[in-house]
Amino acid sequence: MHLGNYLGAVKGFLELEKTGKYETVYCVVDVHSITTPYDKNALAKNKREIIIDYLAAGLDPKKSIIIYQSDIPEHIELAFYFSTVETIARMMHLPTYKEKVKQHPNANTMALLNYPILMAADILIYKAGLVPVGIDQEPHLEVAREIARKMNQQYGTNFPEPVRFATKGEYIPSLTGEGKMSKTVANSFINLTDSLEEIRKKIRSVPTATTAGGEMSPGLKSLFTFANLFLPAVTDRYKKEYNDGTLQFVKIKDAIAEAILAELKPFQERRAKIATDKKYVDGVIRDGADRARKIARETVREVKEKMGLI
């Protein structure tokens, strides 16, 4: 995972889990990952790394159900039933779909078009009301709400209309100064396992102007987003220095890099331990699948009944 995933999604996972008010289900969406070209030799390893990331970030498998999407085939079955209430035109107009087609013009597949429908199934199969995801996922959540409404109207199901559970880091900008931090954009992201040297090098590479003062460049705006998140107590002082023309960019950059590492250090230490405990990680995955399947099976049974399939 990169810092955008952590701040935009996983921090929300943790917050919701901590309230103790909800049943929480968190999913590594391996089936979604095959909707664009991918390295099949790396997938099994990478998806496990994300489970380890979740655990290292502090998710408690006793409280939350943690799963691989593909372990619960009912997600895919439900997505097919949901696809009966969505039109092809609606799916083709989604900004995320258009972006992906631009990135992979030779892989404009049915799986890609179905991405938001599968996401709706991931959410609604657990009748989830709150979804901790970054702001980039808002159009997909709108689709999930639409599907819930249509299913309820047409078939009399009782799906909730899920809403996004937003975090302070709901939009983490790219280190390039353009767009969002993303694994698929080179030089845009910080990995959660990066060392201080790596983080410093990456933050130093954020494009800034040569002099302070005046309208901020996109890179500088990104830098101040990081300052707000990681150095909230001194951000105003940096802003004033910028306006006064006295801000030294390398100083603010290095301070941000150190603050990011300070936040990531406990994560990295926990991660190193968990990664070596194969039995524990396997147990979490197995137990999560068992618990999730019970809920998922029941929802699919209900839907099949309402749709006249059984």
Query: Cβ-closest residue to ligand AMP?
Result: 8
Residue 141 token pair? 């959540």
Among 24, 83, 137, 235, binds ligand AMP (CB under 6 A): 137
HSE value, Cβ hemisphere, 13 Å, CA-based, for 254: 5
Give backbone dihedrals phi and psi of 166, rounded to 5 degrees, phi first. Answer: -85, 145
For ligand AMP, the closer of residues 8 and 61 by Cβ is 8
> Smallest distance, Å, CB 171 to ligand AMP?
5
Q: By CB under 6 A, what part of segment 39-58 binds ligand AMP? A: none
For ligand AMP, the closer of residues 116 and 134 by Cβ is 134
For ligand AMP, the closer of residues 99 and 287 by Cβ is 99
9 binds ligand AMP (CB under 6 A): yes
> Smallest distance, Å, CB 9 to ligand AMP?
4
Q: Kindly report each contact of residues 28-32 with a partner whose C-beta sits within 8 Å and lies 24 or more positions away, as own/partner.
A: 28/54, 28/66, 28/67, 28/68, 28/69, 29/69, 29/119, 29/122, 30/68, 30/69, 30/70, 31/69, 31/70, 31/75, 31/76, 31/118, 32/69, 32/115, 32/118, 32/119
What is the rounded CA–CA span in Å between residue 168 and residue 131? 15
For ligand AMP, the closer of residues 7 and 67 by Cβ is 7
If you compute the radius of gyration of the chain from its CA atoms, what whole number of angstroms results? 21
x/- string (CB under 6 A) for ligand AMP, residues 160-189?
---------xxxx-------xxxx------
Among 25, 133, 175, 284, binds ligand AMP (CB under 6 A): 133
Q: Which residues pair with 66 in a beta bridge?
A: 26
Query: What is the binding site for ligand AMP (CB under 6 A)?
Result: 4-5, 7-9, 133-134, 136-137, 169-172, 180-183
